[in-house]
Structure 1
């Protein structure tokens, strides 16, 4: 199974942490964000990485070269940061079949494998990990509206009036049909080629997209305080595991 990792961003909101390195190389709990992504993907069976790089890409390429923990890495280059759909298209020449897509700045402790399993079992055209947020926060995200079968029927990027409180998280499974949709996307009001717009084209063409509700947690590391928040959660998890192990030994 191949995985595309989007790692081209500058991380301007994380400055000064990103003055000398790309966003995905910011360390959380002692290791770069992208290593946490790699480890999560290896855990669900990924055996090839396609990493889309851009800003200060040499920092990534020099550190990992052509493999991580024995898993080969291919680099695709996004020379201008023109949105997630544009970034994904840079990986198209390297993708052979169905694949997973993960944003390189998210830390997950969640049921990622369920997304892959659902897509393989149902032969859906895509499956997304989604989470519920307070309705007043939903307008900050890509918001999903689903039918009674758990299929996404509408996806709206940062709407003023959200149709639900179910939002995209940053982990997806796609067939290669997503590339055709990305080619058709037009620039948004902010001049970027948006991934939610490509997904909406899939929906309009009758493709099936399953929503998998997240069991666990994730943090999108966009600001310095997010790094502090995720480190706290990771340390709490380690303390809980240690306590459980100690209770089992007693």
Structure 2
């Protein structure tokens, strides 16, 4: 299975940490952030990494080269940062079949393999978690039926219909590329992946939800500290 890793952003909220390097190279527990993401994808069974690069892309290419732990890497340049849906669309020529998507700024405790395993019963899988209503208003909010299947996804709603949100880990069919191509930009000029998944749901695709272990979405210097603590805790406990 291919794994797509969006890692084009600068990470402006990280301040001086990304003045002269991309977000993916910020140090987390002694290793670049992307090394943790790549490891997560490889441990879940990825046999090729398709990495979407942008800001200071050459530094990422120089740091990781053509392979990671024996798994080949293909780099794809996102010349304009226009949202996750736009980033994913850049990977289309390099992906064959259903693929794993792990955002390049998410550090997970434990494996994301349960998301990969769940796709046999559905067309796509979203890893989800419960958050506060305040946090839900800032991201993709999910509504499900009694089976846990997705019935609707709303991006950054003023009045969240639930507190179940996406976590930056997806298993998606190739048809999501067509859905991404149909997207219209948001008010901020971005193309949202959650809306593309919503198009699949409305077209009748079965989209499953799974809950994984703890994770940290690295956006601020404080998040870097939390992610480092999570990695060290996982190493010490063997979780």
Q: Secondary structure at the match of 1:85?
A: helix
More off after superposition, 128-137 vs 47-56:
128-137
Q: Give the whole-Å Cα distance in 1 for the aligned partners of 2:76 and 2:101.
A: 14
Query: Cα offset for 1:65?
Result: 1.5
Q: What residue in structure 1 maps to residue 58 of structure 2?
A: 58
Query: Cα offset for 1:207?
Result: 1.1
CA 167–25 in structure 1, closer or farther in 2 if over 3 Å, else same = same
1:200-211 equivalence runs, <5 A? 200-211=198-209
Q: Secondary structure at the match of 2:148?
A: coil
Q: What residue in structure 1 maps to residue 221 of structure 2?
A: 224
Q: Kindly indicate whether the alpha-carbon contact (under 8 Å) linking 1:14 and 1:224 is maintained by their aligned counterparts in 2.
A: yes
Residue deviations 1:191-213 (CA, integer Å, cap 9, x gap): 01111111111111111110112
Q: Secondary structure at the match of 2:16?
A: coil
TM-score between the two structures when normalised by the length of structure 2: 0.96
Q: Secondary structure at the match of 1:74?
A: strand
Question: Where in structure 2 are there 5+ consecutive unaligned residues?
Answer: none
Q: Secondary structure at the match of 2:170?
A: strand
Q: Secondary structure at the match of 1:192?
A: coil
Question: Where in structure 1 are there 5+ consecutive unaligned residues?
Answer: 245-250
Q: Give the whole-Å Cα distance in 1 for the aligned partners of 2:100 and 2:237.
A: 30
Q: Give the whole-Å Cα distance in 1 for the aligned partners of 2:61 and 2:149.
A: 38
Q: Secondary structure at the match of 1:100?
A: strand
TM-score between the two structures when normalised by the length of structure 1: 0.92
Q: Give the whole-Å Cα distance in 1 for the aligned partners of 2:73 and 2:135.
A: 36
How many residue pairs get matched? 239
2:9 paired with 1:9: yes
Query: Cα offset for 1:138?
Result: 1.6
Query: Cα offset for 1:50?
Result: 0.5
Q: What residue in structure 2 maps to residue 195 of structure 1?
A: 193
2:105 paired with 1:105: yes
Query: Cα offset for 1:111?
Result: 4.3
Residue deviations 1:14-59 (CA, integer Å, cap 9, x gap): 1210111111111100000110011111111111100011110000
User: Runs in 1 of length 4+ with deviation above 6 angstroms?
Assistant: none
Query: Cα offset for 1:235?
Result: 2.7
Q: What residue in structure 2 maps to residue 139 of structure 1?
A: 137
Residue deviations 1:140-171 (CA, integer Å, cap 9, x gap): 22110000111011101111111111110000
Q: Kindly indicate whether the alpha-carbon contact (under 8 Å) linking 2:43 and 2:111 is maintained by their aligned counterparts in 1.
A: no
1:71-220 equivalence runs, <5 A? 71-120=71-120, 122=121, 124-214=122-212, 216-220=213-217
Larger Rg: 1
